[in-house]
Amino acid sequence: MPNRPSSATAAPSEPAAPSLAQLALATFTELRQLIGGSLSLAALEARLAALSLIGIVATALAAVLAIMAFWLTLQATLVAALWRLGVDLLWALAGFTLLNALLVALCLLYMRRLSGNLKFSATAGILRGHGSHATTEAGNTP
């Protein structure tokens, strides 16, 4: 009988270590899957945020309409009360009209002040090279 090693008694061979190219490809594949999953999650959250924003705007619009109805009813009640107390109806209406005009003017001034924040002046200055750091102007802060 020839002296051959049998396959049953031979030591099992260890699997060959993956090459550097295989490791790089596996890493790249996992990284691509991770980024793809993250982007999918970000897209889902952005969609949820957009739908939530639509709901918030719709609810705010309904609240504004309710506040306007309340304000107009309050004014009508006060005009009627002043008229019953003897104040001429036209003077009472003129007074509330001036009050509304004053409130509108204050809202417009506030909106104009806030609109300065929409210019991105500090960012534009940095991009143009006119500034080394971002500063906010005192007039543009809310």
pTM of the model: 0.55
Q: What digits encode the pLDDT tens for the residues 22-45? A: 888 989 999 998 888 888 899 999
Q: Where are the alpha helices (DSSP H) in the chain?
A: 20-84, 89-115, 121-128
Q: In angstroms, rounded to a whole number, what is the distance separating the alpha carbons of residues 4 and 136?
A: 87
For the ranges 6-10, 69-73, 87-91, the lowest mean pLDDT is seen at 6-10
The residue whose two tokens read 């009640």 is 77
Q: In angstroms, rounded to a whole number, what is the distance separating the alpha carbons of residues 102 and 94?
A: 12
Q: What digits encode the pLDDT tens for the residues 39-51? A: 889 999 999 999 9
> Residue 19: left if φ>0, alpha if ψ -120 to 50, beta else—which one?
beta
Give CA separation, 6 vs 3, 10, 16, 53, in Å.
Answer: 9, 6, 22, 74
Q: In angstroms, rounded to a whole number, what is the distance separating the alpha carbons of residues 122 and 136?
A: 7
